[in-house]
Amino acid sequence: MTNVTDRFLKYVKFDTKSDEESTTVPSTASQVVFGKELVKEMQEIGLKNVSIDENGYIMGELPANTDKKVPVIGFIAHMDTSPDMSGTNVNPQIVKNYDGGDIVLNKEENVVLSPSEFPELKEYIGLDIITTDGTTLLGADDKAGIAEILTAVEYLIAHPEISHGTIKVGFTPDEEVGRGADHFDVKKFGAEAAYTMDGGKIGELEYESFNAAQAKVKIKGRNVHPGYAAGKMKNAILIANDFIGRFPADEVPERTAGYDGFYHLNTLKAEVEEANLHYIIRDFERENFERRKQFVLKVVEDVNQKYGEGTVTVDLKDQYYNMKEKIDEVKHVFDIAYEAMDAAGVAPTVKPIRGGTDGSRLSYMGLPTPNIFAGGENFHGKFEYVPIQSMEKAVDVIVKIAEFYTKK
């Protein structure tokens, strides 16, 4: 058997960064390269009906080893990593028996992972931590989840004394750019419920997610020689500044937590002639979510009144909705995961997801899908890390979930 650490260290060597600007499916060819390696591995460990489709979605099956009628369940993770940080030439480092002090990730560039800035590090004293080398992200989001799922199913194959029903495995592309569920074939997957192994620190168990939308804003300016610009120039950069300043300063990710919603200006590309802004809009309450979208439209209207009709246009689209509405209808799916964590020696931390997950959309597509920790911290950047013991516990939780379904 291959342990979860060795799997993870192998997977992070694949650059699978997704690309929001791409129009292909998946958005990057590198995800298919990684996917084909996963298909080969899944077949080698004994999974059945393994496939990768034309869109890069991978599915496989571990047949039941009991005659008892047991619900078919699935475990899902995504192959891509964030487009916000390089995933090329990832060089993971292992800090054995972490002592609670600073971890020098890159001496030459003076990149230090410090508990003074990331106090949760103190929770992992005595554990073994996999970090970056300070120049790339790590890829625990979500290659840790993939490694945990395949390690768990291989463990179940090697231990037939553990009764389980049919277990489906699914790996998706492009979750980081909001397209992970776009082409997921729920009917083909054939599960009654599933779990995404895509959460953060050990113990996280989530069945509430944001309602989410994105707003792509375009501002048209007019460029004229600055020496002769009086009464003629429309500087899209300055109009964008006015536009941004109309949003509430405290309703941003860095000033919100828990059940707070926000507006997040994710990208800004601006010249005098044109500016393009990308916002993401998030709220747990549907009424507040709708209010936030109307606020964006009102800002567009007000700025157009000031600078001229057609100066600002917006493409406003919903992305996903709060999965709680769907999970509440089949609460046992959540309850079994909670019990499995407890049995595996993991204290469940039930909290809302302050981020995207395939589980939100899949739940509305007919596949109720709570989210379980994968173990990583500080996703999407050079300070990302994952404790080995957290990944090992995630494997235990998957095994326990499979086992507990036979007891219900």
State phi, psi for 282 to the nearest 5 degrees.
-135, 140
Contact partners, residue 294, CB within 8 Å, separation at least 6:
none
Q: Cβ(129)–Cβ(379) under 8 Å? A: no
Question: Which residues are tagged catalytic?
Answer: 80, 175
Total Cβ atoms within 10 A of residue 337 = 25
Nearest to 400 by CA among 22, 110, 73, 114: 73
CA angle (303 as vertex; 298, 306 as ends), nearest 5: 130
Encoding tokens for residue 356?
Answer: 């995207």
Q: Cβ(219)–Cβ(311) under 8 Å? A: yes
Q: What share of the chain is helix, strand, coil (3-state, %, to 5)?
A: 35, 25, 40
Long-range CB pairs of 375-378 (<8 Å, 24+ gap) are: 375/140, 375/144, 375/148, 375/200, 375/201, 375/202, 376/138, 376/140, 376/141, 376/144, 376/200, 376/201, 377/118, 377/120, 377/200, 377/201, 378/118
Using DSSP's 3-state secondary structure scheme, residue 25 falls into coil
